[in-house]
Each structure stands twice: as structure tokens, then as C-alpha cells.
Chains A and B, each alone.
Chain A
Amino acid sequence: MTERLGELLLALLIALGAAINHWAAAGAMFGCCFFLATPSTTVGWGRVGLGMFSFGIGYAAGIFLYGGGPPFNEKAMFVSGGLSAIAAGAWASLGKAIDKSGPLPPWLSDILDRVPFLKRQERSGDDNIG
């Protein structure tokens, strides 16, 4: 009975391994560690959630751009790693800003200023001076 269970688990593991895009998964796993760049921002389960979030984003991006297989495309690893790292870094910075109720990081507010509908409004009183 135990041998059967072992064989079943082994078969499940091999089937899972064959179904997963391993390049995308490896890239996303690498990228989700980028929260270590700001280690004081996340603690405990928050860190686990952030890791899972960035892993999911990275893996999904790899599958989206280089889906299909096996054999899988190795380029998925770079896409997944990059997007996962960006997601982890941005989300950690955003979380820190929200926690401290402080201003957004300058690089993030610069990016947001370039999005038309998120652009900060000029103060109306400024034009009336003079």
C-alpha cells in the first residue's frame, strides 16, 4: 500500500513537473527575491504574500509571452525574472509608503506623473498670483 502511494506521488510529481513551464517558474522564483533590496519593509506573512504575488505576476508574464510547450522556451526565464523583480520592488516600496502614510518614492511619483489620468493637478491659485 505504501509503495503504491509512493508511486502515485512520484507520478503526480513527474506530471506536475512536465506541465509547469520550468523556465518561467525558475525566473519568477529568482525575481520574487528582490524584496530583499528593502528588507525592513516586509515581515512574516506579508513577505510570503509579496513573494507569492510577484511570483505569480512573473510566471504569468512568462507563460503569456512564451507559452506553449514542451519543449519550453528559455527566454521565458528572463521575462519572468524581470517582471517578478519589478513587481516585488514596486509593491514593497508602495507598501512602505502606505504603512508610513508618507509620500510615494520619487521614482514612483515620476512614473505616475507620466500617466495622463493620474497626473497631479496644478494648484488653481497659482495662476492668479500677480
Chain B
Amino acid sequence: MDNIDSLLWGTRAALHLATFLIVASYHDTGARFRLEVTTVAICLCGSSGALGMLAVTRWTPGRFGTEYNLLFLLFVLAVFVIVVKSKGNVAKMFPRIPWRYRP
């Protein structure tokens, strides 16, 4: 059981840090400043890095196996997939199609 716990914990830490690195390493010289994109990028990148750091430094054997952590791992995985699909470009995560219903 401890091995599975360690594996899940390590997976979560790796996903957090990978998300952090992908968003932080994105660079576009022609990018223009948009407040909402910058805010989301900083929140996503910063919280991923901080959670990854906490996951690494506060790792304790046999402490993972709660439903909360399992669900959180799935959420982190979903965020990671979105970040990988957009290649770290947070602006790409914002839909360009109008989302309001217009009859």
C-alpha cells in the first residue's frame, strides 16, 4: 500500500512541476499584454509550482490514500492535459467562439 501511496504522491508532484515548467517556459515575442491572460497564467503557474514544492517537501510515507487526494490528482491531471494541449500558451485556453446563446 505504501508503494502505491508513494507512486500517487510522486505522480501528483511530477504533474504539478511539469505544469509549472511548461507554462513558465512558454515564450512569444509578439505576444501582447492582456490582463486576464496574464492573471490566469500567473495563478496557474504559481499555484502549480507552489503545490509541487509542497508535495515534494512535505512528502510523508503512507499519507496519500484519501479520496480527497485521489480526486485532486484527477483534477491536476485534467489541468496538465489542457496545458500540454495548448503547449503552455495560456491565451489558447480562452475560447474564441462566442459562448452566449444568441437567437
Contacts and interface: CB of A to CB of B under 8 A. Distances in A.
Contacts of B28: 39-40
B28 to A, nearest CB: 7
Interface residues of B, number: 26
Contacts, number: 70
B27 A22 contact: no
B42 A36 contact: yes
B59 interface: yes
Listed from nearest, the 10 A-B pairs whose CB atoms lie closest are A30-B46, A29-B49, A22-B57, A26-B50, A33-B46, A33-B45, A17-B57, A30-B50, A29-B53, A29-B50
B46 A31 contact: yes
A92 to B, nearest CB: 12
Question: Chain A contact residues (Cβ within 8 angstroms of B): what range?
Answer: 20 to 34
Contacts of B57: 16-17, 20, 22, 25-26
Interface of B: 20, 23-29, 31, 33, 38, 41-42, 45-47, 49-54, 56-59
10 contacts: A17-B56, A17-B59, A29-B46, A30-B46, A30-B47, A33-B20, A33-B46, A33-B49, A36-B41, A44-B27
B56 to A, nearest CB: 7
Interface of A: 13-14, 16-17, 20, 22, 25-27, 29-34, 36-40, 43-44, 47, 51, 77
Contacts of A27: 50
A contact face: mostly helix, strand, loop, or mixed: helix
B contact face: mostly helix, strand, loop, or mixed: helix
B42 A34 contact: yes
Nearest to A27: B50
Contacts of A51: 24
B24 A14 contact: no
Given A33-B45, A33-B49, 9 more contacts: A13-B59, A17-B57, A26-B53, A29-B49, A29-B52, A30-B47, A36-B23, A39-B28, A51-B24
Contacts of B25: 47
